[in-house]
Amino acid sequence: MARLTKEEWQKVRIEYEIKGMSHAELAEKYHLPRSTVAYQSSTKGWIKGKAENAVQKKAQIYRDLKAIEKETEHFTAWEKAALDIEARSRAKMQLFFEDSAIKNQKAANSMLMKQVEEGNICGIESHARITARNRETVLGKTPETQVNVQQNAAQTSTIDLSKLTLEELETIQGLIEKAEQ
């Protein structure tokens, strides 16, 4: 029977939680009684396969990246660099908008709760519009999508967000954060 070091137990835990190996498989691999592995996993709070969803997502990303490499194998080094820069920029903008939408939703929820506590339910319709817009931002719209801003009942203006630089978008985020305070 083997006596494992702290580092070896960490490996056992990773194989249990990340790889999803069973107590019996781990016991055989590390020359331990199955009951010892079971005891460690239960007393230390191990969760078998706890990262399965994350592993599946990362595996899909690796497959997607491999397909992109194949699709762009004829690109020059400059084209590949430009592609990487543009992809990072778009991802950064999308994360910015998702973060802003979540902050905006929290502020809208807080304001609605205050209004409801005061017996005022007039804000429910505007809250529903804000929620719908935030939902689209997080779950389906891209930063290039045009956002309609209702100025009054008769006039609507359109902001083409794809024309803004990252610095301009960060300035807008700062203004939103100041307005929320």
168 band by pLDDT with thresholds 50, 70 and 90: low
Complete DSSP assignment for 74-131: TS-HHHHHHHHHHHHHHHHHHHHHHHHHHHHHHHHHHHHHHHHHTT--TTHHHHHHHH
110 band by pLDDT with thresholds 50, 70 and 90: confident
33 band by pLDDT with thresholds 50, 70 and 90: very high
**Cα–Cα dist 63/58, whole Å:** 9
- DSSP lists the bridge partners of residue 158 as 148
**Cα–Cα dist 34/12, whole Å:** 12
Higher pLDDT, 20 or 174: 20
Does the pLDDT at position 102 exceed 90? no
Does the pLDDT at position 125 exceed 80? no
Q: Alpha carbon of 50 to those of 1, 58, 74, 170, 176: distances in Å?
A: 28, 14, 40, 36, 37
Q: Domains of the chain: which residue ranges?
A: 1-71, 92-180
What was the pLDDT predicted at 152?
Answer: 42
- Mean pLDDT throughout 62-71? 95
CB 158 within 8 A of CB 147: yes
What was the pLDDT predicted at 181?
Answer: 57
